[in-house]
Structure 1
Amino acid sequence: MAAPLAAPAGSEPVSPPDTVLSPKKRSYLRKHPAVTVGGILLLLMILIAIFAPLLWTVDPTAISTSRRTRVPSELYWFGTDMLGRDIYSRVTYGARVSLLVGFSVATLASVIGLAVGLFAGFVRWADGIVMRVIDGMMSIPPILLAIALMALTRGSVQNVIIAITIAEIPRVARLVRSVVLSLREQPYVEAAISQGARVPRIIFRHILPNTVAPMMVQATYICASAMIVEAILSFIGAGVPPSTPSWGNIMAEGRALWQVRPHIIFFPALFLSITVLAVNLLGDGLRDSLDPRLAKSL
């Protein structure tokens, strides 16, 4: 029998090219389409915010009285407002404000609320004191609390972030506390306590990892809520300064001409709705994929 031909010296077997998505990833995307759709829409908005100067925009604050309230056309894609400013440029740059507020509030509220929830849930003597304060804050709607806090300061993006963060912390703290209360009674936590493990080790080794999944889902909802609250604050004049292009400011400036020039409000409202929808879809998809009970039913 003839021996098989040997490969030429110095040559290596050629492996088939890698596919863009592995079968496991394709299966995940098929089972969780909300994550795919929400992630793509949110990524698109992030790219618009980052590359706003490169997307055929002009100065969003440039005023021109000769081109006031122009309707959408080839020259002005989204039309112009009462001061002749290009609405397309203002909407594109406004994505930066909304996404900055949403991501910043979600991050800060999650970190602070996580610390408060861990402390209240694991330290029994502090639970009653901390949660009474949290209950008092939760009795006030977040938007009203944010308006009250903004009334004490001047309008700026930083103050808006701080005000909305304070209003959102109780939601995170209460969620984390409920998770910790159920985890601290688990056998592995009791075993760690019986072996003399210190409280910081128990929290960071056994409690904290199990709060990541619900925290990720809650952070997406907080991000969407923060963008809506920021738009409301700007719409009523209690948010970012009017000179800063934000979706809430654009809608506030166009409400007087809503009946004759609806495009001034339509385009920022459309971008805000798409962004909030994307974040909510991402949160719903993460909830379905991270919850074992829901994952089994899919």
Structure 2
Amino acid sequence: MTGIIFIFFACLLWAADTLIRYPLLFSGSSAQQIVLFEHLILVAVLIGIFVFKRRKPNFLSRQTLLPFIVIGVFGSALGTLAFTEAFYLANPTVVILLQKLQPIVAVTLACVLLKEQINPRFFLWLGLALLGSLLLIWPDLQSLSSSFQEGNIEHNNNALLGYGLALFAVVSWGCATVFGKKLSTKGLDSVDLMAGRFSFGLLGMLPFAFMTPTLITTIEISILQKIAILALLSGVIGMYFYYQGLKRIPAHWATLAEMFFPVAAIFINWLYLSVAMTEMQLIGAATLVIASTMVQHKPKNALVKAA
């Protein structure tokens, strides 16, 4: 139960960051600039933590190199970049809701890579979670269908590209969940996991800085301050809670718990951005929360048998 709660807190922080990330995109900042400076700030914070604690980074080895490339370059850098860009190109609500497909990626990889044997009961809750996801996304799918019928080609192309980027983020984050769990079993603590994630994430963003130097030279102080809040809120604090939770529960439990993020994001949009929800979406949200919570009521050996 404790692991689920940690991840729920992380999801709340990730959801809250949409209140800053979305307005930034429409105030002149590019997705590349936002994600690049997020990682620069995050790495600087982690360096400060290592210096303050007088400890040497010990997260990198032959065994951890590939997992950190996956969770850093793809999960932290490219996945976040794709997600942020999708916000600009497509309906942000649909982009958030598409994350409900993440469990399919994470559960499959957990079975293959971590040898987690999953009891059929888990798939019952997964099925209910995906049903809740469908109910949540249904009004936006209807709107998208109507847009196609009206022949709004430019809008549809942008929307499809945005949803494609969102799906790339889903796959990247699903892989990152499983490889993060794999690293947590190797004795790495949350600080080490975060240091490796953000360091490799910064490496993944450096090519964008070299190709477009104006990403660095044109940053405004006011924008930088908002990005710093993003980095501390969803990066440092959010990821710390997340890895505290991840080391306590199986990867496929974690990916269900992560499905609380889109629900929280929708309610935050409703409360602070006046984005209303239909009755169907409220039912879907309730179904999704119940499914992602009920998975932890069974004993661990009832859902995951020892491999």
Q: Tell me the TM-score normalized by structure 1.
A: 0.32
Q: Tell me the TM-score normalized by structure 2.
A: 0.32
Larger Rg: 1
More helix by share: 2
Work out which structure has the larger RCO, using CA pairs closer than 8 Å and 6 or more positions apart in sequence. 2
